[in-house]
Amino acid sequence: MTPRRASQNELTKNVILDVARELFASEGYASLSMRKIANVLQCSHGAIYYHYKNKAELFYEIIANDFEKLDQELLDVMNDSSLTKEDKLFHLLYRYIKFGLTHQNHYEVMFLIKDDDVKSYLQEGPNKSLQLFGEVVSSALMKPLSTKDVYSLFLSLHGFVTHFCRAETTFEDIKELAESHVIFLIKALK
Amino acid sequence: MTPRRASQNELTKNVILDVARELFASEGYASLSMRKIANVLQCSHGAIYYHYKNKAELFYEIIANDFEKLDQELLDVMNDSSLTKEDKLFHLLYRYIKFGLTHQNHYEVMFLIKDDDVKSYLQEGPNKSLQLFGEVVSSALMKPLSTKDVYSLFLSLHGFVTHFCRAETTFEDIKELAESHVIFLIKALK
DNA sequence: AATATTATTGACCAGTGTTCAATAAAGAAA
DNA sequence: TTTCTTTATTGAACACTGGTCAATAATATT
Residues B98-153: tens digit of each pLDDT: 999 999 999 999 999 988 889 899 888 888 999 999 999 998 888 888 999 999 99
Nearest nucleic acid nucleotide to A44, CA to C1' distance = C9
Q: How far is A16 from chain B (nearest CA, A)?
A: 26
Q: How far is CA B159 from the centre of its chain?
A: 14
Q: Which amino acid is at A100?
A: G
For A68: left if phi > 0, alpha if psi spans -120 to 50, otherwise beta; the answer is alpha
Confidence (pLDDT) at A5 = 52
**A residues 87..146 contacting B (CB < 8 A):** 108, 111-114
* Rounded (10°) angle between helices A147-166 and B175-189: 80
Say how far B33 CA is from C15 C1', in Å.
10
Nearest nucleic acid nucleotide to B55, CA to C1' distance = C17
Pairwise CA distance, residues A105 & A168, whole Å: 10
**CB of A161 within 8 A of CB of A100?**
yes
Confidence (pLDDT) at B59 = 95
Contact A155 B166 (CB under 8 A): no
Contact A114 B185 (CB under 8 A): no
**CB of A51 within 8 A of CB of A16?**
yes
pTM score, two decimals?
A: 0.92
Contact A177 B28 (CB under 8 A): no
Give me the long-range contacts of A121-127 (CB less than 8 A, separation at least 24): A121/A56, A121/A57, A121/A60, A121/A63, A122/A60, A122/A63, A125/A63, A125/A64, A125/A67, A126/A67
Preferred mutation among A155, A164, A181, A189 to probe B, highest tally of B CBs within 10 A: A155
Q: How far is B141 from chain A (nearest CA, A)?
A: 16
Pairwise CA distance, residues B38 & B26, whole Å: 16
B149 contact A CB<8A? yes
Contact A177 B148 (CB under 8 A): yes
A55 contact B CB<8A? no
Confidence (pLDDT) at B5 = 54
- Each of the 190 residues of chain A gets a pLDDT tens digit; together they read 344 454 556 789 999 999 999 999 999 999 999 999 999 999 999 999 999 999 999 999 999 999 999 999 999 999 999 999 889 999 999 999 999 999 999 999 999 998 888 988 888 888 889 999 999 999 888 888 899 999 999 999 999 999 999 999 999 999 999 999 999 999 999 8
**CB of A85 within 8 A of CB of A140?**
yes
Pairwise CA distance, residues B3 & A107, whole Å: 51
Say how far B3 CA is from C26 C1', in Å.
13
Pairwise CA distance, residues A32 & A52, whole Å: 15
How is chain A split among helix, strand and coil, in percent rounded to 5? 75, 0, 25
Confidence (pLDDT) at A184 = 97
Name the residue closest to the C1' of C19 by its CA: B46
Query: What's the number of CA atoms in the CB half-sphere (13 Å) around residue A163?
Result: 25
Q: CA-CA distances (angstroms) from residue A190 to A142, A180, A185, B184?
A: 11, 16, 9, 10
Instruction: Report the pLDDT averaged over residues B84-103.
Output: 94
Strand D atom within 7 Å of B34 CB: no
Q: How far is B112 from chain A (nearest CA, A)?
A: 7
Residues B1-31: tens digit of each pLDDT: 344 454 556 789 999 999 999 999 999 999 9
Please give residues of chain B from 4 to 33 whose alpha-adjacent beta carbon (CB) lies under 7 Å from any atom of strand C. 4, 6-7, 32-33
Contact A151 B181 (CB under 8 A): yes
Average pLDDT of chain B, as a whole number: 91
Strand D atom within 7 Å of A10 CB: no
Contact A180 B156 (CB under 8 A): no
